[in-house]
Structure 1
Amino acid sequence: MTDPTTTALVPDEVWARLEAACDLDCYSVTGQWDVENLLLDAQNHIGDALPQLLGMGTVDTSDADQEDLIVLVDMPGGPCLATTVIQLREFRTEDAVDGPERARAVLERLLACHAELMADLNAARTAGPLTSMFTADEVECLIRTAAEAVHGNALGDDTLSERQITLSARAYDLMQQEFDGDRPVGAAH
């Protein structure tokens, strides 16, 4: 994991623009909205200099046991992909004091999540023959299906749609064929 206090994903001159536009002297992270509001301020004031900020968002995934969030990244012309879950306590470490230093560490961590997602996506494009057998829309559906299988449906209902069942069955069949050696890796569907 990238250490948000040592990376330099926000150049000093760009950071100065955000500090001039926003009052960050009392910034602290008490919940997901503190992260989201900082991201919105950064998108509005320095999004032109850091376009990867545009199309990013967060979703609160906290439960009774821990506070955490998921960073979302909109892909150009494609689906919205989630990166890793970030526990909010990560932003409450002693490495950064409340105020501008804390805000910069949070923004750097969000940008690191974006960079990690893009690196993983590029690696998957070259090393993911199973993924190449599905459209981007189908991959998004499979990601949502996996998330619902692990964490439950966002609507509170435990049923999967017919499309989710069909795509999951297709993915399972392809994985089984690859395992059995019946289909060359990367064969088109």
Structure 2
Amino acid sequence: MKSAKGLWILLVPLAGFGLWSMLASPRALLGIDPGPLGMFALVASTVAALLLLSRTPRENLDRASPAEWKAWLGVGFMLAGVLYFLSRIPLFAAGDWRDPHAGAVARNLVLLLVVWTVLSSVLAARWKGRVQEDERDRDIEASAVGWGRGALVSCVVGIAVLLGFSPPARLQWANHFMVANLLVFALMWGWLVEYAATALMYLRDRRGAGS
């Protein structure tokens, strides 16, 4: 148990370094481009955290459901993606896939979505038959999925309205590259809201049970 706690402590600064290098974008760190290194650190820390979580017995998770732990990890991962996108919007408006910097950012965003989708599927398979869901878990999951779907639909509708009702003179920024990345952002936003709703509902439920 102590070794597991030690691993969690090590994963926090690793994830923090990954997020810092993605958002701050320093040009060089000890002569090395930290961009790819930061992406690797963020993905590696998330993979390690999910694997550690999948091997931890439920009774050792501080009374929290594995779904709640997964939700908190999802919040951190998707929040990193959303912040990364928002910090790179000027690149999307001014460039396209042929721009090495804009192309790298777009590939990183798609990679984040792919990695999280694969990790979630793998984690679900590892927990199958080991983690028993109760009625509370199913109710929270259903409510959170509704919140996430609503956020995704609202974001897509907002993009459609913006593009459809804005004068052409004001849509110089809306090239095909920007629109493609806005759709990726919509997926990340939907997942972020879903995981945040899941985590907050578990937190509220646990506090209500303890009072």
Report if TM-score (shorter chain) is over 0.5: no
Structure-1-length-normalised TM-score: 0.30
Kindly indicate which of the two structures has a greater share of residues assigned to helix.
Answer: 2
| Greater relative CO, 1 or 2 (CA 8 Å, sep 6+) | 2
Structure-2-length-normalised TM-score: 0.27
Kindly indicate which of the two structures has a greater share of residues assigned to strand.
Answer: 1
